[in-house]
Amino acid sequence: MKKTNILIVDDEIDLLETLGDIFESKGYNVTMVEDGNKALELLRNKYFDIILMDLKMPGISGVESFKEVKSLHPSAAIIMMTAGSVREEIKEAVGAGVDAVVDKPFNVKKLVATIESILERPLILVVDDRVEDRETLRDILVDRNYRAFIAKDGYEAIDIVRKSDFDVILLDIRMPGMDGMEVLEVVKEIKPDIGVVMMTGYSSEGLAGKSLKKGAYTCLYKPFLDMEKLLRVIDEVQEKRKRVYSSWQKVRVLLVDEEAAHKEAISNILTGEGYRIIPANNGQEALKRVEESFCNVALIDSELSDMSGPELAKKLKEMSKKTCVIMISRFSALDLETLEDSAKEAIFDYLIEPIDPAQLKKLIKEGLKEQKKW
């Protein structure tokens, strides 16, 4: 599976660094900040699976931060750390939906076990315009140890999906405003790897067939008299996603950029998805990396000091025809018409900075699919 992103927020620097070292040693992607405002700024640009937050920090309470975090990332699991907080504050945190509260000083093994237990529970989003249907299904899933969330319509579902990282979406086909088929298309555009199970109370083979062609895993009919069947389907989708992520871990991405900040930002996005990043600072270094070992994908800055991006793309393709080359342009779309044919043919597609993480992931997956045709 992909690596887990953990954000640790605490004004005690020693504790912050200790926890960071512990979780990094266990293979997590760890980010540390010392106050709630910095955490919120970071969360506006990056998704985290787990957030460890001190309940009481100068300037902002953990409960206030929690509510803002949930508005930014509804599916993130949040664990509050507390040292002598009053019972009312802890009660407020639990009532607001915090996943767990741990007392300082805490047993590190228990904290790690708590996080691992949370991560083992699949994230499910139930999308249905009928209040009773979505809440009943949500409650059943929670009772079965899933982390389940609800959306009342397609618009809310898409907003939540953009901010979160669900394993499975249970999506009603017939909804007012934006129906399930439209939602399915947008979801697959945003997060192609999410498993989507369509639901309908109407017997419609035509709609079911169309949904499968658009990327749904299957279509189930309501009411769910056989709940065990639904749970089996969810588990099947989970297993399929694990196999996909396992294959991604073997994918090598060559990242060619002379600016360290750009490289770090892109690396953070892709290592979180399980890709292996091969960094290069310029064109010559990139050619050496490809000579040493095959790279599935090459992300190339269009402006390098020793050669142009298109020139490097052409040379890379001459060395490794199967490598998918994606060009990154700082200012505008590349003027492909001005490039010679061999350079145009070398470039699979391009991205314009600032990079949209969803678009970056989507392009890489499309490039990998194209690569399989060779």
CATH number belonging to domain 249-371? 3.40.50.2300
Q: What are 14-55's pLDDT values in tens digits?
A: 989 999 999 999 888 899 998 878 888 888 878 888 999 887
Q: What are 271-306's pLDDT values in tens digits?
A: 877 788 999 999 999 999 998 888 999 999 998 999
Q: Write the burial class of residue 58 (CB in 10 Å: 0-12 exposed, 13-18 middle, 19+ buried).
A: exposed
Q: What are 58-72's pLDDT values in tens digits?
A: 666 667 777 788 888
Please answer whether residues 50 and 7 qualify as being in contact, where contact means their C-beta atoms are separated by less than 8 angstroms: yes
The reply to whether domains 123-246 and 249-371 share a CATH topology is yes
Does domain 123-246 correspond to CATH entry 3.40.50.2300? Answer: yes
CATH number belonging to domain 5-119? 3.40.50.2300
CA end-to-end span of the chain, whole Å? 26
Could you list the beta-strand ranges (E) of 241-364. 252-256, 276-280, 297-301, 324-329, 349-352
Domain residue limits, the chain: 5-119, 123-246, 249-371
How far is the C-alpha of 339 from the C-alpha of 13, rounded, in Å?
52
Please answer whether residues 9 and 60 qualify as being in contact, where contact means their C-beta atoms are separated by less than 8 angstroms: no
Predicted TM-score (pTM) of this structure = 0.66
**What mean pLDDT is predicted for residues 242-265?**
82
Q: Tell me what pLDDT residue 332 has.
A: 59
Q: Tell me what pLDDT residue 180 has.
A: 93
How far is the C-alpha of 54 from the C-alpha of 59, rounded, in Å?
12
CA distances 202 to 198, 209, 231, Å, are 12, 13, 21
CB neighbours (10 Å) of residue 229?
11
